[in-house]
Structures are given as structure tokens and as C-alpha cells.
Amino acid sequence: MTKTDLSLDHFKLEDTRVTRRYFGKFEKITNHLTKVAATMEAEGRLSRVDIEALTGYLAGLNYTFRALAHKYHFSGRWDHAGQLTFDRLDSGFPVYQELLEMANDALQAERHLRTMPAVDDLKDQMVRVIVGEQAIPTKLQYALSQRLYYEELMKGALFWARNDPQSVWLGNEGDRREFQVHWAVYDSQVNLPTVYIMNVEDTGRTGLPKDERRWPEVQAHLMAQSVAHLKLLTIAKGFDEDFDDLHPTRLRRFHIGPMYSHAFTRQSGPLREVLEQAKSPVGEDWALVWTEEELVSERVEHVKSGWFGSVERQIFALDPFAGQGAETGATRMERSLIMPERPYQSLAEKNPPGFRDVRKFVVSEQGRVLSYR
């Protein structure tokens, strides 16, 4: 791994073996995430409708890594294969630019596939080169990897740099409709996938997703506010003030990452020491941070609007402990660690300060998930 010219914390994977290990690690991580989400549902921390929204994005993240793995399968073995750039200081994930390039490739995937040989044809040509010429068909192998890359893009349902808002009807109470609105971004500031889930009460004449005026405005508004440095309180209040007949009663944000790995990342702090001491086998040398922020409305106030009217405004509950609510802009924030058994054993032995109250989800190759405090 060598540094790029872009910044000190962005690195390119230039070796085939290392690149495949990186994607192999993330394939395991993304597969574990859906099981962890199911455990959170069993514990009552997430509802069924929450899980459906979250697992859709987690599955999309898995497809994104699968596509990128095809794209860079021959990094280091073929001059034109390119190299993955990832953020090994702050996130452990690919840099934002990788997802932008992938989205651009997706727009042209159909055209590329029309001009490329089919998978079976490429495999037949490989056999002829191996048997007839007794040579390694590197060019054909690379062509096959690109064919599989574009096929993966054509399937869709990936996690993109922007995943526009979707709405789910939850029910009616009197003249109010309740919707869950969820969306996700690959945050360009921190190079991490971030998922938002908001509960909204709708007092408009037409249901939100069918409203040809409000729904596009809501989508544009939410995507513009989806940046890591904005507090949930800022996002929710801005939405509440911009849409008089939409009332955000609950807003959550899930940060997936950073990913720590002794072999790949250069983050500092106790987790790095824990992973170094664990000496885990290939594929189990990692720990992933999962952070959930939540903001809930505690009451409603009516404020004057125009000469004779009034509108509802939400008053949000902030964390009362040590002033953290005002600082974080949330009702609560909880961090969890997801890690294999060997790193967890190392963490339990070292027991560093600051990790005792962090929820730990310990995952195994057999699909088992254990939860510890």
C-alpha cells in the first residue's frame, strides 16, 4: 500500500493479494451487519419497519462492495486494472470518489455490456489459452472481472453516494397520517455510509408520497441537510419550520463505521492496541463502530402564523445528562462495537477506559451474534 497524492489519509491498494483481502474482510463485515440488526430487533431496540429500512441499505452496501471487488479484482496484476483508494485514517472505507465513479459507470453499464463478450464466451477463450498456449489468460480474466462488475451495476439496489428518501405509511390517527421517511448517503466528509430514519405526522390534504408538490421538496430538503457535521436538532427544526403540515416526531441517524483493522487502518487509540494484541487470523482482524443518534419530540407548541392562523412546532427532548443534549443535538446517542471473538477477548482482557459502557456485538463465522455490555 502506498500513499496517493491526494491526502495523507487516503491510500491506494496496489497489490492484488492485499486488495482481495480487503474486500474479503468487508464481505464478512457486511454479512454480519444484517444479523446484528436482527439482534437489535430481538432486543426491542429496533422495530420491524426499522429493520426493513436498515437491512435494505445494509444489503445495498454488500452489493456495492461486491461490485467494487469485481472492478479491482486484478489490481497489481494488470496495468489498466486501477487501484482502490480508501480512507485508512478516519473510516477504513473506500473514499467518496469511488462511489461517484461507480455511479457514473452504472449510467454506462448497458452500453459497455453490449460490446463485451458474454461470460461463457470469455471462459471458453480462457480454456483455449490455458490449454493451447499454456499461458495464464490475464487479459481475459481482467475482461471477465469487468464484465461481472457491469453486470452487478445493472442489477441495481446498490448503496450509492446518494440514496434518495423513500416513505412508508405507518397508519392514520384522525386526520393525521404517519409516515416513516428513510434515506441514506455516503458522507463525503467522513467517508462513511450514513442512514437516516424519520417519523413524520402529515396533516396535509394529500398524503405525502402522493403530493406532487411537497414530496419533491421534501426529498430535496432532506438530501441537502444530510451531512455529518449537522446536528439532528438542526435538521429536524429546519424541516419542521419549512413544512407547516409535516411534523417530525422522531429522527434517527445511523453511522456505519469507522472500521478498524490492524492490517489496513492507521487509527490511533485503544482499539488499535486491542487489535494488535489479538493477533487474529485473516478475515477476523477488525472491529466496526455502529453509532445511533436519536432525537424525539416531547411536546408541541402552537405559534402564530400570519394574521389569524397558527402552526404546530415541535419541541425536542435533549439529553439531560451533563449538558450533552445541547452539545450533541440529540435526545440520546449510543455507540456499539461489532467484532469477531478474538478481538473481543483482547478487548475484555485490556478493558480500556471508555469502553465499559459500550455495547459489544460479538459475531462468529457460524452466524451467531452475542451481545455484551
- DSSP, residue by residue, 289-355: EEEEEEEEEEEEEEEEETTTEEEEEEEEE---GGGHHHHHTSSEEEEEEEEEHHHHHHHHHH--TT-
Nearest C-alpha neighbor of 280 from the set 336, 335, 337, 347: 347
Residue 56 — φ and ψ, nearest 5°? -60, -45
**Cα separation, 371 vs 363, whole angstroms:** 9
pLDDT of residue 322: 45
339 against 366, higher pLDDT: 339
Least confident of 172-186, 268-282, 312-326, 359-373: 312-326
Give the distance from CA 204 to its chain's centroid.
Answer: 32
pLDDT of residue 242: 93
pLDDT of residue 215: 97
> Average of pLDDT values for 91-114?
96
Mean pLDDT of all residues belonging to the chain = 89
pLDDT of residue 150: 97
For the whole model, what pTM was predicted?
0.92
Confidence tier at 2 by pLDDT (50, 70, 90): very low
Confidence tier at 4 by pLDDT (50, 70, 90): very low
pLDDT of residue 266: 83
> Average of pLDDT values for 325-332?
78
Percent of the chain with pLDDT strictly greater than 90:
68
SS3 content of the chain, % helix, strand, coil (to 5): 40, 30, 30
DSSP state of 190: T
Q: Name residues whose C-beta falls within 8 Å of residue 107's C-beta, 6 or more positions apart in sequence.
A: none
User: Is-contact 180 53, C-beta < 8 A?
Assistant: yes
Least confident of 42-51, 209-218, 270-279, 307-316: 307-316
pLDDT at 342 over 60: yes
**Cα separation, 120 vs 187, whole angstroms:** 38
Nearest C-alpha neighbor of 198 from the set 159, 245, 247: 247
- Mark 21-31 as b/e (b = at least 16 C-beta within 10 Å): bbbebbeebbe
> Average of pLDDT values for 138-156?
94
> Average of pLDDT values for 239-252?
94
pLDDT of residue 5: 43
Confidence tier at 14 by pLDDT (50, 70, 90): confident
> Average of pLDDT values for 311-323?
75
Residue 85 — φ and ψ, nearest 5°? -105, 125
**Cα separation, 334 vs 332, whole angstroms:** 7
